Structure 1
Amino acid sequence: MKTLLVIGLFFSQLVSAQEPKGSIIYNSKQDGNFEVYTMNPDGSNPKNISNHPKTDYAFCSSENGKSIYFYSNRDGNDEIYKMNLDGLKVENISNHPSSDRVPEISKNEKWLAFQSDRDEKSGEIYLMNLESKNIIRLTNNNLYEESPCFSSNGKKILFTRQIKEKKDTLEVSNGEIFIMDLKTKKEIRLTNKDGFDSGAKFSPNQKQIAFYGKDEITGNYDIFIMNADGTNLTNLTNDVLEDYSPTWSPEGSWLAFTRGNAENYDVWIINIHTKELRRLTTQPKRDESPFWIN
């Protein structure tokens, strides 16, 4: 038994000590408008890969990291696009007069989840079959919903729903994270706390979920981790700065996220085991909403 405990401790220390691998995609205003950038996980070699005068805002990539999915107003209204990692071969996927944003691609790259106001101005979550272009409306109400995220098997999806509480009179300030079974459309609410919780992402092993939300004691926006069923909620950052948009490293030991205040935002990473923090961007314009690619 002692031998197993020692082996388990050694493995845990080994995982926590792993250096982050892959590349990080993020959105930056350093060229004036939001563009899609890539950089190494140590912050080196930043490169503008979208290079367009309109707003380009990326949210996800294909499993092999060769395709980036983003939304842009380059055709007059917000549409969802796909492009190669080198910024070439740009394709308008949504091609609809409504505003389509926040794309999320399934692991097999057959389905695209996104937010749209095509039926409700508040914004609903939709699913698109990328082969047939058929659209399935997943949520159906007048509540604001955002930030879809597929499970690795593509059978479930995380999303945020804005909820009006009895105390809300002029402004609705609460948002909670839900999970939906895509076959049955059954929903389960995973968070239940004050403040707006959003940006939920499954860990690579699907056992945990990272998201951002308000700390109920300090009122600050922090990065949280919980089990996939909503239990064991932990505030990972717990600081005075605003922390948003967490994303997992490929091996699951690090999170990249947005940190800053009204003056500026930057991309940081944190080790979920040791809580070691590293700042990756330092230029005076906004850098935010990172995600990892292999």
Structure 2
Amino acid sequence: MRTALSVLLIVVLAACKNDLPTGPAGGTGRLAFSTNRNFGEWDIYLMNPNGTGVAQLDPSLANDLWPSWSPDGQRIVYQSDRIFVAGDTTPDYNLFVINADGTGLTRLTTDTANEIQPVWSPDGTKIAFATDRDAEDYEIYVMNADGTNPLRLTNSLGADGQPAWSPDGSKIAFVSVRDGNEEVYVMSAADGSGLVNLTANAATDFGPAWSPDGKKLAFSSDRTGSGDFQIWVMNADGTSPLRLTTSSHPAEFPSWSPDGSKIAYDADGHIFIMYADGSHAWSPDGSKIAFVSVRDGNEEVYVMSAADGSGLVNLTANAATDFGPAWSPDGKKLAFSSDRTGSGDFQIWVMNADGTSPLRLTTSSHPAEFPSWSPDGSKIAYDADGHIFIMYADGSQPTQVTNKFYSDVLPRWRP
């Protein structure tokens, strides 16, 4: 089971208001995340959604993982292996809480077992978590926010973990292997009753995250059979699962923005933010949405009415993989990524808004992906090999504009 002993990155969205018009990564607020940028140790960092304002929360020599914001955005609970117990060859994970400014560190659990994957209740009075204190595997517990009165909710032969409170506090979604593979379940937050397997799929499903209105759950799954995990969303009762991402790397651990309009997730050790419908592509007049779907067996660019989803048209209709659509400012064209040349690399293409006259723009030696038009329509930004490039809209003069040791992806022009 994917416990925090093996997870690479968790991202959680803090309160966001007054979004700026800079695409899904625009807006105010803070992200808490875990990173191993300090010589391989896992630490909790904070940053703005656009990647600026990066700061370490609590410098330590331990591994700190799985941050969870308190509902008021003032505190963060997380797991840490900073406490050694006499006789142990490896430290156990315990739960700690800290103020968002890095002060007031407090230890919540003090036993010799592992306590992992903490998450606050919506009213801030309780914390759910997974622990192996009573069994060989992990079970879900709930305790008061100060660490008192722990209550066991699950009791199964398979490991249970990754609890997620529903917005109204009445239910907890979690992951369990009790039926032989990782599935997303839901139960009463009061006593663990009313257990329901929501995913009921032969694939691996994990990382549940409730939408703020409680109507949907985002999660990660490899159910497409491609071997990679992608972000999916389903109704709160498990119906109508829909794939949102088409990442070339495993996309995992979704987290909704407080207004429900965006979802943050990690892929290939980096943080991404997308709109909650998986798209980045409203037509300039707001009447249509271009999106990617595998409904016909491979990734294609479709367009539909933004009002009700009617008028569905497959624009690319190609045996290749096509994704990342971006409208030109005048609404007459769509740029996208495709591997239709057969070389194995993705390149930036452009086509008319009705799908006609596809034209290849880039000849990059690395995959060129996720185009974004300049506001005047004269240029297109894109990413390739972890760097940002800008070219003229006819594909001429591609110019690399970033050159750092880190990966730079998903460029978005400010209107």
TM over 0.5: yes
Equivalents in 2 of 1:109, 1:154: separation in Å?
10
Contact 2:44 2:67 in 1 (8 A): no
- Match for residue 102 of structure 2? 87
Amino acid at match of 1:114: F
Is residue 241 from structure 1 mapped to residue 249 from structure 2 by the alignment?
Answer: yes
Which of residues 41, 44, 53 in structure 1 aligns to 2:49? 41
- Match for residue 178 of structure 1? 185
Higher alpha-carbon deviation: 25-34 or 177-186: 177-186
Q: In the superposition, relative to structure 1, how do residues 88 and 58 fare at CA in structure 2: closer, same or farther (>3 Å)?
A: farther
Q: Compute the displacement of 1:274 (Å).
A: 5.5
Contact 1:22 1:250 in 2 (8 A): no
Is residue 216 from structure 1 mapped to residue 224 from structure 2 by the alignment?
Answer: yes
Q: Compute the displacement of 1:273 (Å).
A: 3.0
Alpha-carbon displacement from aligned partner over 1:39-85 (angstroms, at most 9, x marks no partner): 11111111111111111113311111110010001112210000011
Q: In the superposition, relative to structure 1, how do residues 163 and 58 fare at CA in structure 2: closer, same or farther (>3 Å)?
A: closer
Contact 2:247 2:267 in 1 (8 A): no
Please identify the structure whose Cα radius of gyration is greater. Answer: 2
Amino acid at match of 1:176: E
Equivalents in 1 of 2:208, 2:33: separation in Å?
17
- Match for residue 141 of structure 2? 126
Equivalents in 2 of 1:73, 1:64: separation in Å?
26
Contact 2:36 2:43 in 1 (8 A): yes
Q: Give the secondary-structure state (helix, strand or coil) at the position aligned to 2:177.
A: strand
Q: Give the secondary-structure state (helix, strand or coil) at the position aligned to 1:34.
A: strand
Q: Compute the displacement of 1:284 (Å).
A: 6.1
- Match for residue 275 of structure 1? 279
Contact 2:63 2:81 in 1 (8 A): yes
Equivalents in 1 of 2:146, 2:115: separation in Å?
18
Amino acid at match of 1:211: F
Amino acid at match of 1:65: G
Equivalents in 2 of 1:259, 1:119: separation in Å?
34
Aligned pairs for 1:1-294 (under 5 A) are 19-32=26-39, 33-76=41-84, 77-130=92-145, 133-165=148-180, 174-183=181-190, 185-260=193-268, 265-273=269-277, 275-276=279-280
Q: Which has the higher contact order (CA 8 A, sep 6+)?
A: 1
Equivalents in 1 of 2:278, 2:236: separation in Å?
21
Amino acid at match of 2:187: M
Q: Compute the displacement of 1:183 (Å).
A: 3.5
Equivalents in 2 of 1:103, 1:62: separation in Å?
11
TM-score by structure 2 length?
A: 0.59
Which structure has greater helix proportion?
A: 1
Q: In the superposition, relative to structure 1, how do residues 239 and 194 fare at CA in structure 2: closer, same or farther (>3 Å)?
A: farther
Amino acid at match of 1:22: G
Equivalents in 2 of 1:88, 1:81: separation in Å?
12
Q: Give the secondary-structure state (helix, strand or coil) at the position aligned to 1:216.
A: coil
Which sections of structure 2, spanning at least 5 residues, go unmatched?
A: 1-20, 85-91, 281-323, 325-369, 371-382, 388-403, 408-415
Q: Give the secondary-structure state (helix, strand or coil) at the position aligned to 1:30.
A: strand
Equivalents in 1 of 2:201, 2:243: separation in Å?
13
Query: Identity of counterpart residues, as a percentage?
Result: 26
Alpha-carbon displacement from aligned partner over 1:248-288 (angstroms, at most 9, x marks no partner): 0121111111101xxxx111111123523889x998689xx
- Match for residue 169 of structure 1? none
Contact 2:209 2:254 in 1 (8 A): yes
Give the superposed CA RMSD.
Answer: 2.5
Q: Compute the displacement of 1:246 (Å).
A: 0.5
Higher alpha-carbon deviation: 212-221 or 21-30: 212-221
Equivalents in 2 of 1:253, 1:153: separation in Å?
19
Q: Compute the displacement of 1:164 (Å).
A: 4.5
Equivalents in 2 of 1:29, 1:160: separation in Å?
25
Contact 2:46 2:56 in 1 (8 A): yes
Q: Compute the displacement of 1:20 (Å).
A: 4.2
Amino acid at match of 2:276: I
